[in-house]
């Protein structure tokens, strides 16, 4: 697949890389890290999975963290790059679904094929993906588990189906 035709992969942070909702009395499912004075639990495997995904996708942060993702995550996840492109959103995140991200993601992607991994996809997101003219894959995560090797396999398999 040529570099110009690689699909985009929009990566959320909370619930994909920064885990939450796990049992408070059990072992942490990740590594604790302070981000702007807030304690996060970062997935131990997320960095490795993102590197694997970067072989087939152009990765883009699609998170309410916006620029903070580049400030902290490449170092904390031991990524081989210093930064990724960042989607800038039209307003503050709203509870109840990821639909607040759709306009900005569509603007960023244009007509390119894309996949989007997020823990907060709602019916609006799934409808948008079905109706989008370019190939589009949504991958939902469990926020206490985040990005898994199964998600990576699904994403890489999908990318492999696109016309080269």
- What is the per-residue pLDDT across 4-53, written as a single tens digit (0 to 9) for each? 579 999 999 999 999 999 988 888 999 999 999 999 999 999 999 999 99
pTM beyond 0.85 = yes
CATH architecture of 3-161: 3-Layer(aba) Sandwich (3.40)
- Say if CB 104 and CB 125 are below 8 A apart: no
- H or E stretch including 47? helix 46-53
- What is the per-residue pLDDT across 84-108, written as a single tens digit (0 to 9) for each? 999 998 766 666 677 899 999 999 9
The residue whose two tokens read 């904390």 is 76
The per-residue pLDDT for 4 is 53
């Amino acid at each position: 697949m040529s570099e110009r035709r690689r699909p985009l992969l929009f990566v959320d942070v909370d619930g994909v890389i920064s885990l939450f909702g796990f049992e408070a009395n059990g072992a942490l499912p990740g590594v604790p890290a302070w981000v702007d004075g807030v304690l996060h639990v970062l997935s131990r495997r997320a960095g490795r999975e993102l590197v694997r995904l970067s072989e087939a996708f152009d990765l883009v942060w699609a998170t309410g963290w916006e620029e903070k993702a580049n400030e902290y995550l490449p170092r904390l996840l031991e990524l081989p790059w210093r930064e990724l492109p960042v989607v800038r959103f039209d307003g503050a995140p709203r509870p109840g679904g990821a639909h607040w991200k759709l306009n900005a993601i569509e603007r960023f992607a244009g007509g390119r094929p894309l996949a989007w991994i997020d823990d907060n996809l709602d019916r609006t997101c799934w409808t948008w993906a079905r109706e989008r003219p370019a190939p589009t894959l949504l991958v939902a995560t469990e926020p206490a588990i985040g990005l898994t090797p199964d998600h990576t396999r699904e994403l890489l398999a999908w990318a492999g189906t696109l016309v080269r």
